[in-house]
Structure 1
Amino acid sequence: MAVFVLDKQKRPLMPCTEKRARLLLERGRAVVVRPAPFTIRLKDRLGGAVQPLRLKLDPGSRVTGLALVRESETCDPDTGAVERLEHGLWFGELAHRGHQIRDALTLRRQYRRARRARKTRYRAPRFLNRTRREGRLPPSLQHRLDTTVNWVRRLCRIAPISALSQELVRFDTQAMQNPEIRGVEYQQGELAGYEVREYLLEKWNRTCAYCGATHVPLEIEHIIPKSRGGSDRISNLTLACRACNQRKGNRSIEDFLQRQPALLHRIRTQAKAPLRDAAAVNATRWALFAALKATGLAVETGSGGRTKFNRTRLDIPKTHALDAACVGAVDQLRDWNRPVLAIRATGRGAYSRTHTSGNGFPRGYLTREKRVHGFQTGDWVRAEVPKGKKAGVHVGRVAVRRTGSFNIQTQGGTVQGISYRHCRLLQRADGYGYSFQPKPQTEEARRAA
């Protein structure tokens, strides 16, 4: 993974390799600014030549892929055409906490209803006197927008980024529901199948709708066969393995599942329901596009079908970070087999000073001081325990206690009861947790292993 480099005045320079960063640190020419993403600052250099870097984003409802690539041009020796060559430098996956925000708001709503039901003093409910600004997003969706823009700005401060790429249209649901709609360019091109198939894979969780088989080739299947008047609308399509698709043939789904009424009801219900993740992405896509345009950088856009088309053509495995690298116009992509920094939004704590029971009553009290012996929950620490059952080195996110016995959430699990005396601070809490994922492998390499 590339190491971010800053000059003497904290201006971004070109990222370097891990080996070069190690040499600069050993020779005393650089100091560590932050471990995640790993950034160093040079002591003896001011300014320097930089190359164009592009930050690519694959926004998702739960995870957003980030890819930083270096762009160059190459000439095809056969056709003489100029192609865009991209070299992967840094990859990250940002996990949002929108579902936690939604659950917390639901819990708060239940507490307020309970207080109003009891015979206690409470504020009278207000009606028809609240205004919402135009373009307002729910808190869970606003969180996805804010965290994504926050990381774009962070990376712009530590890397000379000159352009952005965003997957603007994840799924064109209007064109899928009505394939005869005119004016949609990709519906008449080779991306049509990729757009519909990717939507179905996300909607049906990459499993056969009839037998639940996974990790097998799946085929697009018409719930109501076309020979019986079925259409190509997305609400009439599902995924099936080859065996189930051949057994069903042109039979009606009622005849095929007459002995499985529960499965028949589930398939009918799921076929009519839209993809919830697609709705969340579509609700925030234009707000994110406007926020990226406000940075003053050139923004390139592309559809989800084109992303999958690029990834399939280049034989690249599917991950959120690599999906981001395949956004937009991509002719060639090199150096994509790198570790991925997993970034998880954890928040910055809560205002409540007590826990609550299942019925909403206070249970215990939380400490009023955030820091205990110089540490606070969310700090990234390194604990070196010399002896005992927990002897060893533990690196991860710490959860403090007033007693000084901390819990450390490492990549392999949570280690409890670590004394603060063994802990050394690596990075202050910034609302995110960090871990590293192994290098992605192609399907051939995975089978060989």
Structure 2
Amino acid sequence: MSEGANREVHPVVFVLDKHDQPLDPCHPARARRLLAAGRAVVARHTPFVIRLKDRTAADSTIQGVQVSIDPGSKHTGIAVFTEHGGDRSGGYALQLDHRGGQIRDKLTARSQYRRRRRSKNLRYRAPRFKNRTKPKGWLAPSLQHRVDTTMSWVGRLRSWAPVTAMHVEKVAFDTHALSAGKPLEGVDYQQGTLAGYEVREYLLEKWGRACAYCGAQNVPLNLDHLHARSRGGSDRISNLALACIPCNQTKNATPIQEFLTTRPALLTKILKQAKAPLGDAAAVNATRWALWRALEATGLAVATASGGRTKWNRSRTGAPKSHTLDALHVGDLETVTAWPSIVLVVKATGRGTYCRTRTDAYGFPRLRLPRIKQVKGFTTGDLVGANVPTGKKAGVHTGRVAVRSTGRFNITTRHGTVQGIHHRHVRLLQRADGYGYTTHPEARDRSVFSPGPEGSGFHAGGNR
């Protein structure tokens, strides 16, 4: 598919019948006509959902949509699309920002507070770590949070749209393709095959996405043969490493023992790391496997794929790199004809805390918080819009509100936080649900992500 065939479209609007059953999404222009004619009402502000007043699911022909997921550590991409004969057309793009790091930090702080209280004899609390066991399949709370929030949004999408099938990246790379794929040589070495992309993804993970010789990161990386092919080296995984362009050109076909003769410690480290396997892929991708099991439990058809295949698909369609476009390219497909121009960014913020005090450095209360969370009809986390007519803060501000007992609130928008907005200028758009919402344009820079191995973060270098 040529790059020019790709086109951006407006995100679809989710549609419910009069009994809140999902119908096929529609174009925003059609939604505006239905609302103007009084045939529909707004059911939800973000994502935008309308409810028809004169139609039921039994009276409609429903084609259905599919959902694909690209799980990540900090961000998860979710795409809603329709597919006809292997051609996908994206309808809605959603980027879910996790807060696993915050959960980890809070659990660590709580553990330190409790440990200190026990060691200082400030209050007796018997250690319990010896009489507790973890069930099979247990994940740390910071990891389980990623699975739970992703499944929460899958459930929401299923309640707004008729989802018929799902696609998910089960592993970052397909270990079977590493051994079953043919060597990277000739045309395959220059243009890349699916097996080649699995090899590259494996090496990126194994070498920490950095040059093996100088440690350079965030630069183009070449496949480098430790023992040059011109000197009898093979294309085995154990003979491949990552090298930046300067190191790759300097080393060329020089034997690695000679190239690192002045750095014996680094030589030993590289040879040891090259021989060692990466480890169990299931352990590396524990969150992805847990998510796959949760999706299987929904009863819908779930197709799985690897991250290497996703990169291969994206390189063929010429699509730029983003979490949501990665999600749209998960699994088996022929081409992608369109994708949404706007991405909804959903940030997990939590629902507040039951704790009504702030603690000092030693874990003791130092400040009492208000017992009532609602102020002037608003609660922290509500999605609001504020129209300030005059003053330094004049303008329209839409975002997540943080209430204050003084009646002057802070509103966090996509451009930053606006402080001290009087409550009389604020109107409620949507009640807090544990998430903050912003939007941004979909990635458009395609010059960096050209088709071929370069699109995978590699240049077609390497000693021959």
Which TM-score band applies after superposition, normalised by the shorter structure? 0.7 to 0.9
Unaligned runs of 5+ in 2: 1-10, 451-464
Find the counterpart in structure 1 of residue 406 from structure 2. Answer: 403
Change in 2 beyond 3 A, CA 1:202/1:18: farther
Aligned equivalents of 1:159, 1:185: Cα separation in 2: 39
| Corresponding position of 1:68 | 80
Determine the structure 1 residue equivalent to 2:67.
55
AA at the equivalent of 1:7: D
What is the letter of the counterpart of residue 57 of structure 1? Answer: I
Could you say which structure has the greater relative contact order, defined with CA pairs below 8 angstroms and 6 or more residues apart? 2
Matches for 1:13-412 after TM superposition, within 5 Å? 13-47=23-57, 48-73=60-85, 84-172=86-174, 184=180, 190-201=193-204, 217-222=220-225, 237-251=240-254, 282-412=285-415
| TM-score normalized with structure 1 length | 0.85
Counterpart AA for 1:87:
S
347-356 or 389-398, which deviates more: 347-356
Q: Distance in 2 between matches of 1:412 and 1:263?
A: 45
Task: After TM superposition, give the deviation of residue 196 of structure 1 in Å.
Answer: 2.3
CA distance in 2, matches of 1:266, 1:369: 59
Q: Percent identity?
A: 58
Aligned letter for 2:156? R
Q: Are the counterparts in 2 of residues 102 and 140 from structure 1 also a CA contact under 8 Å?
A: yes
- Counterpart residue type for residue 105 of structure 1: L
Query: Is residue 61–residue 281 contact of structure 1 (8 Å, CA) maintained in 2?
Result: no
Structure-to-structure mapping, 1:403-442, within 5 angstroms: 403-442=406-445
Q: Secondary structure at the match of 1:336?
A: strand
- 1:428: Cα distance to partner? 0.8
CA distance in 2: counterparts of 1:2 and 1:162, whole angstroms: 17
Residue in structure 2 matched with residue 76 of structure 1 by the alignment: none
Aligned-pair distance for 1:356?
2.7
Counterpart Cα distance in 1 of 2:278 and 2:421: 44
Residues 379-438 of structure 1: CA deviation (Å, up to 9, x unaligned):
110011111111111100111112222111100011111111111111111111111120
**Alpha-carbon distance, 1:94 to partner:** 0.9
Report the AA paired with residue 165 of structure 1.
Answer: H
Count of equivalent residues? 430
2:174 and 2:330 mapped to 1: Cα distance? 16
Structure 2 CA distance, aligned partners of 1:262 and 1:201? 22
Cα pair distance change 1:137/1:216, threshold 3 Å: closer
Question: What's the TM-score once normalised by structure 2's chain length?
Answer: 0.82
Give 3-state SS (helix, strand or coil) of 2:336's partner: strand
Residue type matched to 2:88 in 1?
E
**Secondary structure, counterpart of 1:290 in structure 2:** helix
Partners of 1:205 and 1:31 in 2: CA distance: 51
Q: Kindly provide the CA deviation profile for residues 21-61 of structure 1, in whole angstroms up to 9, marking residues without a partner as x.
A: 12222222211111211111112222211113111111112
Query: What is the letter of the counterpart of residue 372 of structure 2?
Result: E
Give yes or no for contact 1:52–1:71 (8 Å, CA) kept in 2: no
Structure 1: give runs of 5+ residues left out of the alignment: 74-83
